[in-house]
Structure 1
Amino acid sequence: MAGKTWSTQTELGAMFALTARQVGTHLTQLGLKDGTSATERAVGEGLARDAKLRDGTVFYVWHTERVAELLAAQGLGRAEAAPSRSRGSARGERAAAAPTPARPVDGYGKVVATDGSALGNPGPTGWAWVDQTTGETGSGGLAHGTNNIGELLALLGALRHAGPEPDLLVRADSQYVINIATKWAQGWKRRGWRKGDGKVPENLELVQEIVAQLEARTGRTDFEWVRGHAGDVHNERADALAVAAAKTARRPGQA
């Protein structure tokens, strides 16, 4: 992480042998995080800033060294650096990066990774979930949809699979879905399913189904953002299943 000015919670966690969720707990205790967002203090002091995914979704990154110092001050020990890799042969070949290992379950009854895909966005759409606790998977597809629809369907499938009772951690690479589940949907519901500008939210029927599933749960439900296409084993598997489902759903002659 040396030389990297800004880091995600997952990247900070790697510095201390912690999960992103555990880092989030410490950031909350430090007053730097509130729910899924950085606090005004964190942003004002230059400890956090927002960043954007390709679809425009906002998430927060953290000043690597300054936040790491604050975490270390809480008594956290830095993880030992991994042994350096061979630089390959004289022909310049590089050793392949090892995939991120399976994430610890952290005491949850269910830990489920989700992902959605849309070829062309919009286009043939797939969704998938991977149960990290059992290895079970689920996926499906639509002939036409968007990436956000795929992400929502993946979450809905994960919630139905998990059922209402176990404490559940959903790991998703879509801040759009996480924000809907943890913040936006409740505000829309209070306003009669309208956004702040009075417009009807996109994909409303799916959002309402997700809210109904969440409200029916008796176990705790937490969400963790995972950087997509970054080597996380379960995220990569969910992505592959979602892409395959989108391809299967493609109509003859459809791009």
Structure 2
Amino acid sequence: MSNEVVIITQARMTSTRLPGKILMRAGERTLLETHLDRLADVGVPVIVATTTNLSDDPVVELCAALDVPVFRGSENDVLARYQGAARAHEARHVIRVTSDCPLICPDVIRAGLDTYLSLKSGSVYLSNAEKRTYPRGLDFEIFSRYSLDFAAENARLSSEREHVTGYIRTSMPDIHHEYYLDEENLSHWRITVDTDDDFKLVKLLIEDHHAAEMDYPSLKGLLKAHPDLEKINFHIQQKTI
């Protein structure tokens, strides 16, 4: 049965800066559980795209317990992994997110998806991260299955295959870029988990402030009310692609 839209989130245990981070716990749940729970509120099917590595067996086991479908593919050719996941679930459009964003906001993704679908085009790439106003950790990209298949068949550079949308963004013929922007630029905030200090912040947000139950306006209000929180990981430099 085909799906109009699916969310595919990439997840693996072999993070270079913080190995095993997606199964670290904040509150009573792992970061991956919180991530998947929030994605479920978008209202479209969610698939976890992980690797065939034995180290990712715990990811598969957790997803099985949560009744979340998994697709396993190459560790380094993430583009092919995404294509395999999209094919397996007969998706017509894909929302790409990453599992190091436990506090990703479903209300933001849903609004972005509504905008994307209103354009009624298979040649649109819409993201809130290409021109950034949202904090890191709320990133999403939306594109058609046609664009994904075309990229998988034509991308040659290892960087294009490792980072999934590089070919779509820079080399896809006739692609139309749409930038999903917030009225306020808070791109200097980090709510992603890539280092110990990132995890320290997210753990505090979840355990002390119940951030896992918040929509984006509430999360924004929380961080503005506690400016000391953003200082915890303000010094972290994002890895370059």
TM class, shorter-chain normalised?
A: under 0.3
- The answer to which structure has the higher helix fraction is 2
Asked which structure has the greater CA Rg, the reply is 1
TM-score, normalised via structure 2 length: 0.24
